């Protein structure tokens, strides 16, 4: 049972690779989805965020106001670090639980952890393979502007608040170049699947 970490900067094409591997039969565990679950009303993580950043990060209904929180943390690296210190331990514990459940359900499963902040969390020890989805920062900025409606300044701020390409690439056992066509990315993901299951 290989346990694969799939990482990449914002708009790097990581989720496209994860979907392709899932089509082949991988069990994909999405760190961003775990974060959203752990930040739901009633969860200790949301309570800790509200306590640290104030009621302005909550909606009138008591849910997390992601835009308000994002405006605070993506403009201030220290605040982003505080948020990560709240969120990362809870996500790690829940992801470990899900890895064990996937392995218990099928000891031969290929488990892929779709985790954007692997370099920031400095976690590499437990993985059988670290796969990095890579596209140059300029390509990723253009994608965020075109596909997500961000301003160029917003997109650059998001890139700047993540680990550098060099930091991510240092962790890589496999690099999938996502700067080309979708078919090029699929072909590399397919080759990775063959490597994992061959």
Let me know the angle formed at the C-alpha of 78 by 74 and 83, rounded to the nearest 5 degrees: 70
pLDDT mean over 133-151 = 93
CA dist 192 and 135 (Å) reads: 18
More confident residue, 123 or 174: 174
pLDDT mean over 105-132 = 85
Q: pLDDT for 80-107, tens place per residue?
A: 889 989 998 999 899 999 999 999 999 9
The pLDDT value recorded for residue 76 is: 87
The pLDDT value recorded for residue 12 is: 94
Contact 156, 162 (CB under 8 A): no
Buried b (16+ CB within 10 A) or exposed e, 22-55: eeeebbbbbbeebbeebbeeeeebbebbbeebee
Q: pLDDT for 27-61, tens place per residue?
A: 999 999 999 999 999 999 999 999 999 999 999 99
Contact 190, 21 (CB under 8 A): no
Which CATH number does the domain 3-193 belong to among 3.40.50.300, 1.10.150.80, 3.30.540.10, 2.40.30.30? 3.40.50.300
Per-residue pLDDT at 126 exceeds 90: no
Mean pLDDT of the chain: 92
The pLDDT value recorded for residue 125 is: 60
Q: pLDDT for 56-72, tens place per residue?
A: 999 999 999 999 998 89
The pLDDT value recorded for residue 58 is: 96
The pLDDT value recorded for residue 161 is: 81
Half-sphere exposure (Cβ direction) of 163: Cα atoms closer than 13 Å: 22
Where are the domains positioned within the chain? 3-193
CA dist 121 and 21 (Å) reads: 23
CA nearest to 2, candidates 27, 24, 31, 36: 27
Beta strand pairing status for 129-134 and 3-8?
parallel
Let me know the angle formed at the C-alpha of 68 by 62 and 74, rounded to the nearest 5 degrees: 135
CA nearest to 178, candidates 163, 188, 168: 188
C-alpha gyration radius of the chain: 17
């Amino acid at each position: 049972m290989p346990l694969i970490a799939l990482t990449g900067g914002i708009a790097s094409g990581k989720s496209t690779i994860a979907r392709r591997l899932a089509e082949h039969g991988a069990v994909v565990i999405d760190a961003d989805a775990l974060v959203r679950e752990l930040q739901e009303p009633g969860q200790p993580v949301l309570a800790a965020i509200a306590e640290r950043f104030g009621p302005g990060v909550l909606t009138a209904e008591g849910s997390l106001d992601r835009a308000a929180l994002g405006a605070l943390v993506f403009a201030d690296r220290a605040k982003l670090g505080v948020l990560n210190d709240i969120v990362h331990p809870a996500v790690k514990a829940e992801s470990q639980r899900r890895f064990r459940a996937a392995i218990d359900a099928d000891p031969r499963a290929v488990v892929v952890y779709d985790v954007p902040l692997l370099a920031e969390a400095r976690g590499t020890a437990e993985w059988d393979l670290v796969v990095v989805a890579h596209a140059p920062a300029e390509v990723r900025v253009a994608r965020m502007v075109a596909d997500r409606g961000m301003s160029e300044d917003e997109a650059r701020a998001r890139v700047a608040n993540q680990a550098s390409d060099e930091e991510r690439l240092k962790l890589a056992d496999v690099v999938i170049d996502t700067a080309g066509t979708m078919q090029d990315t699929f072909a590399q993901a397919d080759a990775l699947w063959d490597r994992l299951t061959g």
